[in-house]
Amino acid sequence: MPQWRLDKAAGGWLSEVTLDSSSPLVAEQLAALAAARPHLSGGRLRRDDPGWSRRVLFLKPRSYMNESGVAVGKALKHLSLKPSDCIIVHDDLEKRLGSVTVKVGGSANGHNGTRSIIGSLRTQDFVRFRVGIGRPEDKSQVAEWVLQPFDSDETRTLRETVVPLFTRCMVAALAVDPVFSDATAASAAALSRGSSRQPSPRTTPKASPPSSPTPDDVRL
């Protein structure tokens, strides 16, 4: 489990991990990327390269989702990073539970958290990993749907499907130069080699009382 620490200057909770070629999943992805799309890496990726490593900081905003831009803006300033250095992970009602898609730039497409980030950063040019959560049949349940915790079956689907795909996308995006089109192409190539399991539809949510945001409120 990741270790989270509250950093008020960064606007939320931070966790740090290192992705390196000692991990079988990372090594597999690097090899596949180097073989399939060597031009993306400028020839720097090799199947036998044992030294590939990237430090990754994860941020869970302290604010509510609709105000995510405040935390993201503070974090980039505090860590001396640019919008092109960040990858935003958010839910997507239009995709089935467990699916992952990659997008760079463009509008918020109705996602209030993304809209807040675009407003704070004053640019749409950042990488987005969109994780499908499905949409309820009754449109009036959307607000409750996105706040409802995942049940045990949904959690298992996310762990078995999203986590490997997310790792593949992350490695692919970090393995290339920070050029948006290259990061997107690499991540898309990673998704094409992902799990063949079909994501499952979600069930109708049960009512749950609202609560203040904590580190665990952010689903991914």
Residue 202 is predicted with a pLDDT of 54
Q: Which of 48, 122, 59, 109 is nearest to 86 (CA)?
A: 59
Higher pLDDT, 169 or 176: 169
pLDDT digits (tens, 9 = 90+) for 176-210: 544 334 444 444 444 544 443 444 555 554 444 33
- Cβ-in-10-Å burial (0-12, 13-18, 19+) of 59 comes to buried
Three-state SS at 8: helix
Three-state SS at 200: coil
* Dihedral sign, Cα of residue 165, residue 171, residue 172, residue 178: positive
Residue 164 is predicted with a pLDDT of 79
What would the two tokens of residue 114 be?
Answer: 């993304």
Q: pLDDT grade, residue 77 (50/70/90)?
A: very high
Higher pLDDT, 74 or 162: 74
Can you tell me the mean pLDDT for 8-19?
Answer: 89
CATH code linked to domain 5-217: 3.40.50
Residue 38 is predicted with a pLDDT of 59
Residue 175 is predicted with a pLDDT of 66
Strand 87-92 and strand 127-132: the pairing is parallel
Q: Where are the domains of the chain?
A: 5-217
Can you tell me the mean pLDDT for 102-131?
Answer: 91
CA–CA gap between residue 78 and residue 57 (Å, rounded):
13
Q: pLDDT grade, residue 40 (50/70/90)?
A: low
CA–CA gap between residue 159 and residue 172 (Å, rounded):
19
CA–CA gap between residue 96 and residue 199 (Å, rounded):
6
Q: pLDDT grade, residue 1 (50/70/90)?
A: low
pTM above 0.85, yes or no: no
Q: Among the residues of the chain, which ranges form H helices?
A: 24-36, 68-78, 112-121, 142-147, 152-157, 163-175, 180-192
Higher pLDDT, 118 or 43: 118
Q: pLDDT grade, residue 90 (50/70/90)?
A: very high
CA–CA gap between residue 198 and residue 177 (Å, rounded):
32
